[in-house]
Amino acid sequence: MSDLGRVLRLDARRTALLVAVPVLTLAGTAATVLSLCPSVAYWDNTVVALVNAVRFLGPVAAGLAAWAAVRERPLDYLRDLTARSPATGVLFDLLLLSSAALVSYLAVTALVVAVTLVHEEAGHPHPLGAVAGAGALVLHVVVGYLTGRVVPHRVTAALVLAVTSLWAALRVPGESWWSLLPPAALPRLDLFTTLRPAVFADQVLWAAGTTTVLILGYVMWVTRRFLIVLPLAVALAATAAATLDLRGSSGAVAPAAAEQACRRWPLTVCVHPALRHALPRLMEQVTPLAARLDGTPGAFTRVEQRPAWVPVTVAGGVAAVHIDENLSPGYAARAVRQISEGLKDGPACASPNGYRALVDAWLLGDDPRAVPDSRTARRFASWSEHRRRAWLRLHFTEYRTCALGRGDFRTPHREKEHRPAKHPRREALDGARPPA
């Protein structure tokens, strides 16, 4: 037992472990920094960045494991001095190298989670995704180390690094089910989508099954104990089942409903919770348009951000818009233009005339457009805000169908001397202070 203890202490002090932890941590940190965007506040994308980091971490871990196996192979005679099984040293090496890789992976995970928590995070964490990444990393360590044991040459580590890098590089996110095999390549998720937990479960099973097959196969080859065939067959069956499930899956991404964040005065504006800080700017931009459309069939009192695959519409008092996830400059103005476009009758407005552009400029608060009929443009510019709104209520059908003509601007609706009392919300739309 004293000989075994000395050997174990020597194993734990090897320089391979001292090199592996900082190298893997730096590689994983660099990979996640490249994967994370400045607006990373969506937990799904945090998990995507962490899983994709294994595509960089894995080959480095496999290369280091192969280097450790080749470097320590000449010292096997020290282990032969003990009475333990020849497989014990290999299993202990795998335990130490896998632990070093997982320590580095834990450091990278802590970094990614910290970056997400700094932002106004949205969505829900996927712990199973982190477990899938850890399983893929351990699989790389096992592949690299056992390759170094079987082929103990100086070039083995370089070949292992090259082959595993090629295997990781062949993953193209969303192109094929092959991209879901560890190390998985997952696409960056748009808002209103989420990751499928079943895919992560299959990846964990695939990595665990393949790792078990490799270890048991090597132990059986070294010890000649063929009773290991039964657990080996079970591990092979688990890997095969996980492969079939991944092949039959419809990808790692699925649509998901989100409980939106809203601001409720003077309109109700709702966005994905990851973009809640965009609410003040959106409210400021859409309120003038809502005030000008008040009383028309295109009036709206609610603005909702919708997924990219849902069309932009204005119906039933609700305006649906699309908003950039990164909130690039002008995102609020683009949302207002989407509402304006949603008021159009698509087939009828295939070739709009300049009169529609004249009204659009007023609705959007843009500078007056230059139109061929300058006289009509001057007349429309001379009207008061109240008269323009009254005119739009009378001619909204022509506006929607892009059928406005010169004659529609000749007899503006006469401004009434007495205005009816307004609802408090309408007063707010016109710029009044909200009631206490």
Q: How far apart are the first and last CA of the chain?
A: 82
pLDDT of residue 73: 61
Q: What pTM does this model have? A: 0.77
- The three-class DSSP label of residue 387 is helix
Mean pLDDT, rounded, for 43-62: 88
| Residues 321, 343 contacting (CB under 8 angstroms) | no
Question: Band of the pLDDT at 62, cuts 50, 70, 90?
Answer: very high
- Report the length, in residues, of the chain: 436
pLDDT of residue 189: 84
Could you tell me where the DSSP H helices lie in 326-417? 331-342, 354-364, 374-382, 385-394, 396-400
| Residues 302, 318 contacting (CB under 8 angstroms) | yes
Instruction: Give the Cα separation of 178 and 172 in Å (integer).
Output: 9
Instruction: Give the Cα separation of 26 and 55 in Å (integer).
Output: 14
- The three-class DSSP label of residue 263 is strand
pLDDT of residue 251: 83
pLDDT of residue 434: 41
| Residues 275, 191 contacting (CB under 8 angstroms) | yes
* Position 129 pLDDT exceeds 60: yes
Q: At what angle do helices 156-169 and 127-150 cross, to 10 degrees?
A: 150
Instruction: Give the Cα separation of 252 and 248 in Å (integer).
Output: 11
> What are the two backbone dihedrals, phi and then psi, of residue 304, each rounded to the nearest 5 degrees?
-130, 135
Instruction: Give the Cα separation of 341 and 343 in Å (integer).
Output: 5
Question: Band of the pLDDT at 223, cuts 50, 70, 90?
Answer: confident
pLDDT of residue 298: 93
pLDDT tens digit sequence for 86-120: 677 788 889 888 988 888 888 888 888 888 887 76
pLDDT of residue 139: 96
Pairwise pLDDT comparison (326 vs 119), residue with the higher score: 326
Helix (H) or strand (E) holding 60: helix 43-72
Checking 150-154 for CB contacts under 8 A at 24+ apart, the result is 150/218, 152/69, 152/70, 152/73, 153/70, 154/70
pLDDT of residue 295: 92
CA-closest candidate to residue 129, choices 90, 165, 183: 183
Taking each continuous run of H as one helix and of E as one strand, the counts in the chain are 16, 7
Determine if the peptide bond prior to 266 is cis (ω within 30°).
yes
